Chains A and B, each alone.
Chain A
Amino acid sequence: MSAALCHHCQLPLSGPGQTREIYGKSHCFCCYGCCLAFQVSHGEREEPEAVGLLIRLGVGAFLTMNIMLFSLLIYSGTFGSEEQGLVQAIHFVLWGLATPLLFILGQPFFAGAWRAARGGGVTADSLVSLGTLSAYGYSVQQTISGGVAVYFDTVAMVLVLFTLGRYLEAIGRVKAMRSLTPMLAAERARVVVVEDGHDIEQSVQAITSGTIVRVRPGERLPVDGVVIEGCSECDEAVLTGQSEPQAKQPGISVFAGSVNGMGELLIRTTQAGAATRWGQIGQLVRDALDRKGLAGLFVDRVAAVFVPAVLILAAGTVLFWGGRGPLDQALMAGLAVLVVACPCALGLAAPLATAIGLGQAAQRGVLIRSGGVFERLARIQGVAFDKTGTLTTGEMRLQGVVKHAVAEDELLAVAAALARCSDHPVGRGIATAARARGLALPDAHDLALRPGEGVVGEIGGVSAAMGSATLMKSLCWLDPAGVTAGSSAAPKGCSSVYVGWGGTIHGQLLLSDDPATEARSVVAALGKMGLDTCLLSGDTSAAVAWIAGVVGIERWRESLSPTDKVDALRHWARRQGPVAMVGDGMNDGPVLAAAAVGIAVGTATDLARESADIVLPKHALARLPWTIELARRVRKTIATNIAWALGYNLAALALAAAGLLQPIAAAGLMAGSSLLVTVNSLRLCRASISRPSPASNEIEAPSPVAVAGERMKREKTAPRVVRIGS
């Protein structure tokens, strides 16, 4: 029989089985259990912190389930009135089980409460400690005195559920850390120093001003300095946001963090290795992240109000009953108030909703650094964007050809043949266009790269050139159509490349860095969600204004340095309220960290990813509105969860204050509220089914050519808007 086998248990599949993609490979299983088991035995593991918490939780759950089992037997009336001796014995068993539980699961909460108390504060830890210790103390007293009201199951439930919440938080954090491994490379970069004609490798920290450093083609520059030998083009986009590589020759300044082009450079450093702009940007990022980490958590804020209120209520109860009966009974009633004060559902209220939200996001490739991000993202009032690589693709595309007495394909083929020696985005764009047309490229010889100007060479024995107007002017070639004189100036947002051979300029290629296909619809969707948008770029005024017009952003700032961006964002946020920043470049690191929520797009540099709270997958800017919508839903769920949890506890508190609380009522209320919180959180899974359809990634955008031509006119047709979860 050649039936397919289950990939885990190796049993033949009787039906179609379940096909799942796990770690990038497709596997077939006979049942869901096998699918789980397979994943357990294959794949990565978590950090020790989360594992430790899990073991603690597992052992705690073992004890708790035993406690619950015996409690259920008592509650369900299994033992008749003649078996009271047995019930008393079970109370001692429960005590025996609850004591190690209090040490194993309670210890982190007690430590946290103690830390908070020494600082004069009250947190959720204080609430847990107060509730569990009261319940434990009360129950021990009852057990010894032969009473019936033991709350060991309450102790167990509170501790297990809060620990489960902590564990969910921990695995979320671990996952985020793994995905956003710190990669602030500036401090760890290695440098090749030239000393007495020898190359020596050193750490960037050891570099002083005036050192000679060699940078090979394609390498990232580790130092700031001035070129003393060699010609190349450096891509400074990650540093300045300028999309075009900058020409570098002797005497020109270069900056750490930029990427060297095709030529080798010898650089004399002008700064110590630790004091470069790159290093300073890294420092800015860390400072901003540290500040952001201090924001308090929702649950702690609730606890800060709730704990004093409960203490007052407990004191009031003791006073009230003290005046009407024996003091020990009054004290027990007061203690009962504290017992039910701790809403165990509160432990799950935020972590469960957050964990589900993080899972939903992760399924769509959106990485979120921590649960707190949802809270901040839900509150933002505006979104600021970087231009290059964020709203644009970062790739140059051929938009048009202006020719003079030659075929368009011939012009393009010559340009592409010359472009072979350049790694400039313009050259790549031309090569891509030629490939797309299936052109056969002529052989080019003696190619010479003129940094910042273009390429010259020889094709079929005739000298040929491709490059800027400056290059053409320096060659003094004929310009019969007057293209370089501006008679056919490039549309805004387009770069011109002139192509000529045999002493004549034959035409001009127009290229532009396209707006990302989904950019316009994303901006429109954000507008519909009531969010304002803004464009902050390091690029020139013309390019920024053009892109802003194309994607529909009305507010923009251009020529901003990384620090300027931070200032511009803070200025905007003062008027607008909390704002998010979307960026990708190294120059965006500080501003991403300074924003209420920093969002890096998938192609982002390490620094941008490190600084961001959220990383969107590659080419998936379209998921931004969905992510914001998800955050809003998570926040709403947490708020309702907390309301439910507290509502249930208020009912229990009223019973306790009235001296009517029975252990079964306390357990029932706690279980009920936890169940409600769980169900309410799970609604997030269901609601997220209405996620952005795959088609929304290919949202219709105005054709770049049409845009270049009609950029001044605002398109009347509304672009298709990303559908967001309802």
Chain B
Amino acid sequence: MTYYFIILAAGFAGSFHCVGMCGGFACALGRDPAGRMATVERHLLYNTGRLATYCFIGALAGTLGQGLVGQALPGSLATGQRVLALTAGGLMIVMGLQFFGHLQGVHRLVTGFGGNSMVVSLRNLIVAPGRSAPVALGVVNGWLPCPLVYAFAAQAASTADTLQGFLTMLAFGLGTYPAMLMMGAGGQILRPAWRRRGVWIAGAFLLVLGAITVARGVIPFAGHGAMM
């Protein structure tokens, strides 16, 4: 349980990064002319769409991890999981370092893929009326290339379990919920200086989490304790 709280907290810290990027969408989604409740509903729907994507990515990553551990290294589940944990932890550290401005080349490699059609899609959804559009916006938004999501998806994969992968991303998604909802509720985008600090906090959390994950790979039993 502690583990999911850590993820939740990391998601919350990471959401300062989200505020900079996806916050733009939440702001653009704006207020509903039908009133305050309609606006809240609109943003809840948007964030639920986003959460659904994260949960799906988590379950998928968990299943893939499970598949890899079960098939690539048959009979040695512990070894497989260790390799996975090391990879995921390494990836999280790389992503964390990017938040401090390092390893930009890797960043481009990871994120420079298939974005243009998504751009057009999102642009249309932001202005479309009705209740379906915010859900759709959230769903598509969730698939946007984002280092934070990749990092946590890697974490989900390292659990090598569908349910745990799903829960990991659920915790992460819920962690990003408050900040994103706040953005939608008319909150102004934080000043650059504050956002910069937020990104650093997000990066620091990623580094710590990456280190824990790597440790789990090196000292398997220590890591398992945290999962309980």
Chain A residues in the interface with B (C-beta under 8 A): 5, 8-12, 14-16, 18, 31-37, 39-41, 43, 45-46, 50-51, 54-59, 61-62, 65-66, 68-69, 72-73, 75-76, 78, 168, 171, 355, 359
Closest Cβ of chain B to A669, distance in Å, is 15
Given A58-B140, A62-B139, A72-B59, the answer on whether A46 and B116 have CB atoms closer than 8 Å is no
Closest Cβ of chain A to B199, distance in Å, is 7
Q: Is there contact, CB below 8 Å, between B137 and A58? A: yes
List 25 A-B residue pairs with CB atoms under 8 Å apart, sorted by A's residue number.
A9-B192, A16-B104, A31-B21, A33-B146, A33-B147, A36-B118, A40-B119, A45-B124, A55-B130, A55-B133, A58-B137, A61-B139, A62-B49, A65-B52, A65-B53, A65-B56, A65-B139, A68-B59, A69-B55, A73-B59, A73-B162, A73-B166, A75-B162, A171-B120, A359-B116
Q: Mark B88-132, 1 if CB is under 8 A from A, else 0.
A: 000000000000110010011001100111111111111110101
Q: Does B87 contact A (CB under 8 A)?
A: no
Q: Which of A32, A34, A171 has the most CB of B within 10 A?
A: A32
Give CA–CA (A50, B121) in the complex, Å: 9
Partner of B115, one of A9, A32, A56: A32
Which residues of B lie under 8 Å from residue A76 when comparing CB positions?
62-63, 66, 161-163
- Please provide the 5 A-B residue pairs with the shortest distance between their CB atoms, ordered closest to farther: A58-B136, A14-B101, A65-B56, A76-B162, A9-B20
Given A9-B195, A15-B104, A72-B60, the answer on whether A32 and B52 have CB atoms closer than 8 Å is no
Give CA–CA (A45, B192) in the complex, Å: 29
Give CA–CA (A574, B120) in the complex, Å: 43
Which residues of A lie under 8 Å from residue B112 when comparing CB positions?
32
Partner of A31, one of B116, B118, B147, B196: B147
Closest Cβ of chain B to A664, distance in Å, is 11
Closest Cβ of chain A to B48, distance in Å, is 8
Closest Cβ of chain B to A64, distance in Å, is 9
Which residues of A lie under 8 Å from residue B52 when comparing CB positions?
62, 65-66
Residue of B nearest to A57 (CB): B136
Which residues of B lie under 8 Å from residue A39 when comparing CB positions?
116, 119, 123
Which residues of B lie under 8 Å from residue A355 when comparing CB positions?
117
Closest Cβ of chain A to B77, distance in Å, is 14
Q: Is there contact, CB below 8 Å, between B146 and A72? A: no
Q: Is there contact, CB below 8 Å, between A51 and B163? A: no
Give CA–CA (A58, B134) in the complex, Å: 9
Residues facing A in B150-198 (CB within 8 A) are 161-163, 166, 192, 195-196
Interface of B is mostly: helix
Give CA–CA (A274, B124) in the complex, Å: 40
Which residues of B lie under 8 Å from residue A65 when comparing CB positions?
52-53, 55-56, 139
Closest Cβ of chain B to A514, distance in Å, is 38
Partner of B132, one of A5, A32, A59, A171: A59
Give CA–CA (A35, B112) in the complex, Å: 10
Give CA–CA (A69, B156) in the complex, Å: 14
Residue of A nearest to B100 (CB): A14
Given A36-B144, A41-B28, A65-B55, the answer on whether A59 and B136 have CB atoms closer than 8 Å is yes
Closest Cβ of chain B to A477, distance in Å, is 65
Given contacts A51-B125, A72-B59, 9 further A-B contacts (CB under 8 A): A15-B104, A36-B118, A39-B123, A40-B122, A55-B133, A68-B56, A69-B56, A78-B162, A171-B117
Give CA–CA (A73, B167) in the complex, Å: 11
Q: Does B24 contact A (CB under 8 A)?
A: yes
Closest Cβ of chain B to A707, distance in Å, is 43
Give CA–CA (A168, B100) in the complex, Å: 37
Give CA–CA (A140, B108) in the complex, Å: 46
Which residues of A lie under 8 Å from residue B12 when comparing CB positions?
none
Give CA–CA (A166, B127) in the complex, Å: 22
Give CA–CA (A57, B49) in the complex, Å: 12
Which residues of B lie under 8 Å from residue A8 when comparing CB positions?
21, 24
Q: Is there contact, CB below 8 Å, between A62 and B192? A: no
Give CA–CA (A32, B116) in the complex, Å: 11
Residue of A nearest to B170 (CB): A69
Q: Is there contact, CB below 8 Å, between A58 and B135? A: yes
Q: Is there contact, CB below 8 Å, between A11 and B135? A: no
Residue of A nearest to B19 (CB): A9
Which residues of B lie under 8 Å from residue A14 when comparing CB positions?
100-101, 104
Give CA–CA (A33, B23) in the complex, Å: 12
Give CA–CA (A61, B111) in the complex, Å: 22
Give CA–CA (A45, B121) in the complex, Å: 9
Q: Does B205 contact A (CB under 8 A)?
A: no
Partner of B101, one of A15, A41, A72: A15
Which residues of A lie under 8 Å from residue B121 when comparing CB positions?
54
Q: Is there contact, CB below 8 Å, between B166 and A31? A: no
Q: Does B211 contact A (CB under 8 A)?
A: no
Give CA–CA (A168, B130) in the complex, Å: 23
Partner of A45, one of B22, B123, B140, B163: B123
Residue of A nearest to B198 (CB): A11
Partner of A54, one of B28, B101, B124, B192: B124
Give CA–CA (A39, B138) in the complex, Å: 17
Give CA–CA (A699, B34) in the complex, Å: 61
Q: Does B223 contact A (CB under 8 A)?
A: no
Q: Is there contact, CB below 8 Å, between A11 and B199? A: yes
Residue of B nearest to A16 (CB): B104
Q: Does B220 contact A (CB under 8 A)?
A: no
Residue of A nearest to B166 (CB): A69
Which residues of B lie under 8 Å from residue A73 when comparing CB positions?
59, 162-163, 166
Closest Cβ of chain A to B38, distance in Å, is 17
Given A11-B195, A33-B146, A54-B121, the answer on whether A62 and B28 have CB atoms closer than 8 Å is no
Which residues of A lie under 8 Å from residue B118 when comparing CB positions?
36
Give CA–CA (A43, B147) in the complex, Å: 25
Partner of A37, one of B21, B53, B135, B162: B21
Which residues of B lie under 8 Å from residue A31 when comparing CB positions?
21, 107, 111, 147
Closest Cβ of chain A to B176, distance in Å, is 14
Q: Is there contact, CB below 8 Å, between A54 and B125? A: yes
Give CA–CA (A72, B117) in the complex, Å: 28
Q: Is there contact, CB below 8 Å, between B125 and A55? A: yes
Which residues of B lie under 8 Å from residue A78 when comparing CB positions?
161-163
Q: Which of B20, B107, B108, B144 has the most CB of A within 10 A?
A: B20
Closest Cβ of chain A to B15, distance in Å, is 14
Closest Cβ of chain A to B153, distance in Å, is 14
Give CA–CA (A549, B84) in the complex, Å: 67
Which residues of B lie under 8 Å from residue A54 when comparing CB positions?
121, 124-125, 136
Which residues of B lie under 8 Å from residue A9 when comparing CB positions?
20-21, 24, 192, 195
Q: Which of A12, A39, A43 has the most CB of B within 10 A?
A: A39
Closest Cβ of chain B to A222, distance in Å, is 38
Give CA–CA (A83, B20) in the complex, Å: 44
Closest Cβ of chain B to A29, distance in Å, is 10
Given A15-B104, A37-B21, A73-B162, the answer on whether A55 and B119 have CB atoms closer than 8 Å is no
Which residues of A lie under 8 Å from residue B20 when comparing CB positions?
9, 11, 34
Q: Is there contact, CB below 8 Å, between B125 and A58? A: yes
Which residues of A lie under 8 Å from residue B166 when comparing CB positions?
69, 72-73
Q: Is there contact, CB below 8 Å, between A40 and B123? A: yes
Partner of A32, one of B111, B126, B192: B111
